[in-house]
Amino acid sequence: MRSGSKVKLCGAIFDAPAKQKELSKLEVEIGDPDFWSQPERSQRLMQQRKRLEEAIQSSNSVVSATSDIDTLFELAREGENVNGELEREIRAFQSRLEEIETGMLLSGENDKRDAIVTIHPGAGGTESQDWAEMLLRMYLRWAERHKFEAVITDRLEGEGAGIKSATVEINGENVYGQLQSEVGVHRLVRISPFDANARRHTSFASVFVYPQIDEDINIDIKPEDLKIDVFRASGAGGQHVNRTESAVRFTHLPTGIVVQCQNERSQHKNRASAMKQLRAKLYEYEMEKKRAADAKLEETKLEINFGSQIRSYVLAPYRMVKDHRTKLAIGDVDRVLDGDIDSLIHAYLVWRKTGKTAGDTKEDLPE
């Protein structure tokens, strides 16, 4: 296929001219002298402009990459040795297309929102607590890779190693929609670093994700329904944090939902963060009641134990990460644990939208 026809195909997929026309109209509105007099509207239009600019940039990058690959094929047909460069370009192109497709698959009501992630170890003491901390690190590294802001608002240290629980806010475009792929039980199989006999152990930890809710969404929280406790922060943070009662715990009595925050020195800031978490969890609580008949949601609430995992991370006797919903398997476990989970997220979004799995496809599995 000639480059011209490929460029035409990309243009048809992304419809860049239509988006450019829409952007031009938007720029006229933004240029109005009274534009900033309505903060909510101006903020919404600025976000819309950002999305259009990113869509146009994506279209241009795909057109450029398609042209480059076509040129390399032409050089190969002429006898040039461009195999290595061609392979690199195709891999990068495939990765970019998956990234764009991921964005297109995020069409849910809350997919574009920021997220609150909670992690809890299963039974197993130190083993599971250490695994929970590994998952926390994985999500923090994922956020770092995408230049998302991540703030640990609550962390309860384990006994000896790991964590008993953690809550982290991750702020960025489409974070909640992407991290829906992580909701459920995660299973780790490895030679235990805590076992003097070097035996293989299986550990479990659960992950749940809530959308961060804007102030314009009405979540009615009555003061009489809240039990508020203040206490001394148990984590790192200097003498001031541990000497004063700056940490805050909210218990919502009608639902039994408990949230807490202790990362700030100021009790006022911790209260604000805890209230944001509570609003998010109450919103999700109400949404769950409406989706009570949805079997898929119920599957995410299974006991943190054998048979309920959504994904397995095997470090011994072989090395593989396998998602049990999408059937995608990845051989480079270290890459995944270092935060490179985009292919797992993409496979989940495709599976959620179409029901199609990756079958027995394996990425970079060892021979």
CA–CA separation, 46 vs 36, rounded Å? Answer: 11
Please state whether the peptide bond connecting residue 366 to the residue before it is cis, i.e. omega within 30 degrees of 0: no
- Domains annotated for the chain, with CATH where assigned, are 3-105 (1.20.58.410), 115-213+294-363 (3.30.70.1660), 223-290 (3.30.160.20)
CA–CA separation, 257 vs 166, rounded Å? Answer: 15
Q: What's the burial of 85, exposed, middle or buried (CB within 10 Å: 0-12/13-18/19+)?
A: middle
CA–CA separation, 286 vs 267, rounded Å? Answer: 28
Instruction: Check: CB of residue 134 under 8 Å from CB of residue 215.
Output: no
CA–CA separation, 257 vs 251, rounded Å? Answer: 6
Question: Given this model, what pLDDT does residue 58 score?
Answer: 76
CA–CA separation, 164 vs 267, rounded Å? Answer: 23
CA–CA separation, 212 vs 34, rounded Å? Answer: 30
The arithmetic mean of pLDDT across residues 241-251, rounded, is 77
The arithmetic mean of pLDDT across residues 35-39, rounded, is 86
What pLDDT band is residue 237 in, cutting at 50, 70 and 90? Answer: very low
What pLDDT band is residue 353 in, cutting at 50, 70 and 90? Answer: confident
What pLDDT band is residue 243 in, cutting at 50, 70 and 90? Answer: low
| Residue listed under structure tokens 């009790």 | 267
CA–CA separation, 363 vs 366, rounded Å? Answer: 9
The arithmetic mean of pLDDT across residues 307-329, rounded, is 93
Query: How many Cα atoms are found within 13 Å in the side-chain-facing hemisphere of 254?
Result: 10
Residues 181-215 have pLDDT tens digits of: 999 999 999 999 988 888 899 999 999 999 887 66
